[in-house]
Chains A and B, each alone.
Chain A
């Protein structure tokens, strides 16, 4: 998550070029409009590759990269794309960046590419990316779209990491492959299985609900 936070401090200047409130576009993705916990978008990769923290982090980074690049391109082309064929254009832009990411990951680590499998290609159909392109980047300036993508990307990575960490610790007793819990800990195998993904996400959503309810009551 550090990788995404640090560039933000530099982007403050760029954002100040864009009119309107700037930091808000970034912050909203992290908590108030968190793509996973609040908007419930892009669920498939969230559930499928969050069985270990490492996979979750890699998937989050890949998705955030595609989100950032496609938001930038969509935003800069927003005056040239005809309205009728916009969705098709967005999908093509996204598919291009996903292909790049796919080959990049293959070049960086074959093991990682194997464990993420088809889910790298499936970033194309992550509703989160298309919905940001349609709802935000196609209507806003370059600087704002970039902040939005960074915020949403960071929020997505955060959510994926939350799930991945919980599932790996409970299901395997480790975090990033390092043993965390005492040796006599009985692993909850169910947490690494598909069902565990559903349960963990349900509990995180519950937590979010409780916190938000407390907030609105006070």
Chain B
């Protein structure tokens, strides 16, 4: 695994094994805040930021836990780091842009329970990535998450004007689109070999 180039790690995390469409991580915000393009991009930015910080912290924690021989604390310490990072981002956004703070609403604190972030930390530990590799991996995952979110937001904005039967409206329709997007992203799997 050590021989993977940084470029490959990035492409792998963002396109080939897209966190949302191939690993099903971070579905909640994917369904929740993807109604408008603007919130979608900003949510993507916030998630990417939290990913970067928590991935770097996770690298340090993993080294420390290996040193003191306490791997069973891994999950607990990761989640604490993520929760504090999210708290930080929340305070930051509240100060910088109260409008955005209101637009993101409940989904901002819910970044803590975004599986994409914890999943990223766990995957990078499993794959044995070094510091730089982890950083690039987090960057790729964040980019992939933002891409998926923006794509589906764009589609949903268009669908506002379409006439759909009442039964299909809402989550079911979003899931159908997500399925088609996921099929499309399978086309990228050729890039890996």
Contact = CB atoms under 8 A, between A and B. Distances in A.
Contacts, number: 114
B168 interface: yes
B23 A48 contact: yes
B122 A202 contact: no
Contacts of B175: 198-199, 201-202, 205
B171 A125 contact: no
Contacts of A199: 175-176, 179
A87 B112 contact: yes
Interface string A120-134: 011011110010000
Contacts of A95: 75-76, 79
B183 A195 contact: yes
Contacts of A196: 179
B24 A43 contact: yes
Contacts of B180: 195
B114 A43 contact: no
A41 B118 contact: no
Contacts of B170: 209
Interface in A74-109: 87-88, 91-92, 95-96, 98-99, 102-103
A209 B171 CA distance: 10
A181 interface: no
Contact of B76 (A41, A47, A92, A103): A92
A197 interface: yes
Contacts of B168: 206, 209
Interface in A185-204: 190, 193-199, 201-203
Interface of B: 21-28, 31, 72, 75-76, 79-80, 83, 109-110, 112-115, 117-119, 122-123, 126, 166-168, 170-173, 175-176, 178-180, 182-183, 186
17 contacts: A43-B24, A118-B119, A121-B122, A124-B79, A126-B115, A130-B113, A190-B183, A195-B186, A198-B178, A198-B182, A199-B179, A202-B172, A202-B173, A205-B171, A205-B175, A213-B166, A213-B167
Interface of A: 40-41, 43-45, 47-48, 87-88, 91-92, 95-96, 98-99, 102-103, 118, 121-122, 124-127, 130, 190, 193-199, 201-203, 205-206, 209-210, 213
